[in-house]
Amino acid sequence: MIRPLRSPPPEPVSSEDDAIQTEELSDAVLRVLLPRLRRFALRLTCDPASADDLVQATLERALTRWHSRRPQGSVRAWLFTILYRQFLDSQRRSRRYARLLEWFAGADSAAPSAERQALARSSLDTFERLPEAQRTLLWLVSVEGLSYKAVADLFDIPPGTVMSRLSRARRALRGLNEGQAGVAHLRILK
Amino acid sequence: MNQRPIDDLARNAFVDGQLDAAQRQAMEAYLQAHPEQAQELAAWQRDAQQLRQAAGQDSLPPNPALDPAAIRARLRARTRRRLAMAGSLAAALAVGGVAGWGAHDSALAYRVLPMQDAVQAYRLFASDHAPQPDVRADAGNLQSWLDDYFAHAQRLPDLSASGFKPVAARLLATDQGPAAIVIYENAGQRASFYIRPPGPDKQMLAQGSRRDGRLLARYWSGQGYNYALVGAGDGIADAPLPAPAQAPS
């Protein structure tokens, strides 16, 4: 089934938040953006507690760094960038920690938690199977509606690279969705 | 239809609704002629839409710890804790420093703030409520008065280049013996020359200078004494100091 191309509901988040021009990083601005940050953090960590830890670290960093922020760019993209960098840092740390644990215990400490598996079984099953960078890219563009420029800054890559990676990620997701559709189809036929 | 006359930017911008009207029309015209690609982009749009719908179902219970006000309060508390820690660290260092002073070498303390007594003497005697001097320049020669107490010391520095003339002097006492301050004046400003025996262990000073608030203190040693020039601002910054090897007259 092919739906009409134009105006698919729901729209990606409009960029009205990007119009927020603010001298102070006010509580009101942060409260508006907080649900989005938590949702993005949950996508990244696949664990509600870690997600909120990540958001807390992000807000602390944002509040202490606000005054050294370069003035251009949207507040929202800036916060997402801080959150993503914090996430990558924590990933690096936990990988080191996991290696350390393995060294001592020989255990598979990187086994996915029950929560993680439950989340992966949700409606975003196929999406969850994409590599982290592709998931993040698709999420920021499709769900959060961040500009290509902001995404390029966030990943610290040239804008052209964003476009080719985006195409690749969309093709990969398509491939997974088609594969799943095929599996479901076969099951029905049985 | 393997060729790709439209680039990734156009394809993605089309899917994300980022094209302006003219670009979108051109794109739709192109896709009409290329149904395979039209199908692919339509599928991309469906995937994005599915993702947005699923995202809308993501909901996390409210977490009061994440409220910006709570975060700010925690940051403030952390800053206070760090200040307190820095304070106790400084106190520990001070205690250690005092203990180390007693245990090790009292001259270390002079090295930290050389000729602090000269600065304090300046503050006392260059103020408007200065104690009476022992001798005034109009009542006698300050150099010969000084020589009575510090016979082999260096000569009084010549500050006439910056307009300073010695006007008064007073004898002071330190743990190691007599010291003296000589007040210089120019139009409206005061500077002071300070002479004292070296501290415990005969600690001599390398020539140097330091600032203490708005005061500049320059210090040096020679002929068995420590000396300091103290003045407000930069009035004495370039004054020539007596040559170290100068013989007493």
Closest partner residue to B68 (CB to CB) among A31, A148, A164 is A31
- Among B191, B193, B110, which Cα is nearest to B154's? B193
Window from A30-39, A121-130, B107-116, B194-203 with minimum mean pLDDT: B107-116
Measured distance CA(A75)–CA(A18) in Å, rounded: 7
At CB < 8 Å, which residues of chain B contact A? 7-9, 11-13, 15-18, 28, 31, 38-58, 60, 63, 65-69, 71-72, 74-75
- Among B70, B121, B142, which Cα is nearest to B231's? B121
Q: What pLDDT digit, counting tens, does each position of B1-59 carry?
A: 434 468 899 999 999 998 999 999 999 999 999 999 999 999 999 999 988 988 887 67
Residue A64 touches chain B, beta carbons under 8 Å: yes
Q: What pLDDT digit, counting tens, does each position of A100-152 carry?
A: 777 666 555 445 555 544 444 445 678 888 898 999 999 999 999 999 999 99
CA distance B27 to chain A (A): 11
User: Bridge partners of B180?
Assistant: B171, B195
Classified by CATH at the fold level, domain A123-190 comes out as Arc Repressor Mutant, subunit A (1.10.10)
CA distance A190 to chain B (A): 27
Question: Within 10 A of A138 (CB to CB), how many other CB atoms are there?
Answer: 23
- Among A69, A63, A79, A53, which Cα is nearest to A26's? A63
Q: Quick one: which H or E segment has residue B31? A: helix B21-33
Q: Which two tokens stand for residue B45?
A: 């749009």
What are the residue ranges spanned by the domains of chain A? 26-114, 123-190
Residue A118 touches chain B, beta carbons under 8 Å: no
User: Bridge partners of B231?
Assistant: B191, B216
Q: What pLDDT digit, counting tens, does each position of A70-87 carry?
A: 666 788 999 999 999 999
8 Å CB contact of A38 and B45: no
Q: Which residue type occupies A36?
A: R
| Count, residues in chain A | 190
Classified by CATH at the fold level, domain A26-114 comes out as Rna Polymerase Sigma Factor; Chain: A (1.10.1740)
Higher pLDDT, B246 or A35: A35
Give the single-character DSSP code of A132: H
Interface test with A, best of B18, B28, B39, B58 (most A CBs within 10 A): B58
Measured distance CA(B104)–CA(B99) in Å, rounded: 8
